Structure 1
Amino acid sequence: MAVSLSAAVLLGVLVYVLWRYAGVSLWHIVICALFGFYLSSSTVGPHIANALHSVAIFLSRLHF
């Protein structure tokens, strides 16, 4: 739960920065959000969630 919330906040900030400073139109953002909802409800959704969870575990084990 905490990882998905952190990822959602990070991606939300990234989308805002792209919209504000890179000139991405609002329509592109809406289409990408709709595609994300569609993708998460498909059969690929659990695989994507597992991959993101594995990346989060890998990053948490890194020591700088």
Structure 2
Amino acid sequence: MAVTISLVAIFGLILYFLLRSHSLTPGSAFTAAGFGFFLASTGAATPINQLTTAVLNAIPNL
């Protein structure tokens, strides 16, 4: 749970700075957020969560 909240905060900050630098339009940001929301409710959510967990567990071992 803590990892999920951290990743949401990081991606939220990246999105915020992209919007402030005009590298990303509000329409594109809305589309990306919607895509992520709907992707989380599909069968792809489990493999994505497993991949994220594996990468985060591997970082301390580098």
TM-score by length of 2: 0.90
Q: Secondary structure at the match of 1:42?
A: coil
Q: 1:4 to 1:60 in 2, by over 3 A?
A: farther
Q: Using CA pairs under 8 Å that are at least 6 residues apart, name the structure with larger relative contact order, 1 or 2.
A: 1
How much does 1:18 deviate? Answer: 0.5
Shift of 1:36: 0.4
Q: Would the alpha carbon gap of residues 60 and 22 (structure 1) be closer, same or farther in structure 2, given more than 3 Å must change?
A: farther
> Any gaps of 5 or more consecutive residues in structure 2?
none
Q: 2-side partners of 1:60 and 1:22: how far apart?
A: 35
CA RMSD of aligned residues (A): 1.1
Q: In the alignment, is residue 18 of structure 1 matched against residue 18 of structure 2?
A: yes
Counterpart residue number, 1:57: 57
- Misfit runs of 4+, over 2 Å: none
Q: Which residue of 2 aligns with 1:31?
A: 31
1:41 aligns with 2:24: no
User: How many pairs does the alignment contain?
Assistant: 62
How many Å apart are 1:38 and its aligned residue?
Answer: 0.9
Task: Give the distance between the partners of 1:44 and 1:61, measured in 2 at CA.
Answer: 27
State percent identity of aligned pairs.
27
TM-score using structure 1 length: 0.88
